[in-house]
Chains A and B, each alone.
Chain A
Amino acid sequence: MSDFTPIPYILDSSVLIDVARGDADLIGFLQDFDRAGHSLIIPSLTAAGALLDSQGLPDAQALLTGLAAFEHTTVAPLDGIPQAAKLAAMVNLMSSTELNSFDAHAAAIADVAICPILTLKASMWAWLSSTLDAPLHIIEIADPDQ
């Protein structure tokens, strides 16, 4: 019997943007991840940022809708003033980084829930992570051979 305990993984804007663009290898990776029982979280504001970046791409919204329909995927809403305040604090911290400001929602969830963030570029998260009381867990989706 496996002792595997699924934990949720938060998708940042770099991942959502590439899904919206139809990146086959990334979509294949996430599909396998879901089939393996991993929970994926799509922060709703981060999804909004990905759709903003994907304006003009006809399948962008449908692809993110499909991702949200994966068996183990959840779209995280922004709920209430305390969460809005947490988001505002993250946006303020992130203003001097190359992170997309829509990633503040991913950061806020990760900081509260202690869940790893899946990203295509871990270095973008390094400074923000180092400034928080508890560093974020950043996992880079990359092909080490490329």
Chain B
Amino acid sequence: MKCASLGAALLLTAVAGFQPAFGQTLKTVQDRGVLSCGVSQGLPGFSAPDDKGNWTGLDVDVCRAIAAAVLNDPTKIKFVPLSAKDRFTALQSGEIDVLSRNSTWTLSRDTSLGLNYTGVTYYDGQGFMVRKALKVNSALELNSASVCVQTGTTNEQNLADYFKSNNMKYEVIAFATADETLKAYESGRCDVFTSDVSQLYAERLKLAKPDDHAVLPEVISKEPLGPVVRHGDDQWFDIVKWTLFAMINAEELAVTQKNVDEMAKSNKPELKRMFGTDGNLGEQLGLTKDWVTRIIKAVGNYGESFDRNVGAGSKLAISRGLNRLWNQGGIQYAPPIR
């Protein structure tokens, strides 16, 4: 099943002659009229289909924002659900235009995988979930435990590092998809389920009795999650990067989905630059002057998207924490639009 998509992707790389060059991705997407966006196979809060089959989530909002900026229509997206194992191959081979799928930014992914991370949508870290019945209060009490993990993630390596540096033994059972991993944990095959903390909260909701399970306090790694594009097309890299920055800047300037039309008429210089009433910043990206207006109309600013999908306004109810803006005690910070 997995090998089929992988094989197809490989064949694409080899035969179709996909050669990204400056400006080509934007042209391809606009000619096609649809943005092909790689997402998860269903991670509530980040990318998951709702009960009507519409994809929603923080990562999905990035796709919608890009589609709004590039195609002027946040619904013209083909969502491609990918497992952790297949996601980068799909991007390398050109099967998707952008990967927005809770993927950790690391050096090797930025270099030898031939990819470019465009920013951070969510500052995360890896944690552990256990059954409350085990009466474990700290990850340091997990010696000799069996741990379920999804293969092809940074979690797999962090796990090895953490247990090794704390001189603990463990048994790792690695599964191809998040669902298989969770099922094995729920059936009792493993004592511990490990992944990024945000994902732990999301996956916990899928369990039959979420309250029987607890997330341990330790966060053992840095997991900056963000959208990814492939090497070779700097214009596309800029567009994806600045779409996210526009959402973050909008929050900083208090531009929301509701007041965007009003704010667009503002005389404040930074708002004028942002909404294109002054200068041609959007055109420099290869888009139109009102690119930010379209983005904010489609998904709102970063804070709105966060609250709606993973924060206070969602079932996950994760606190903003590190993901607050830099001037509110967090580390979310976007370069200025000028």
- Say if A and B assemble together: no
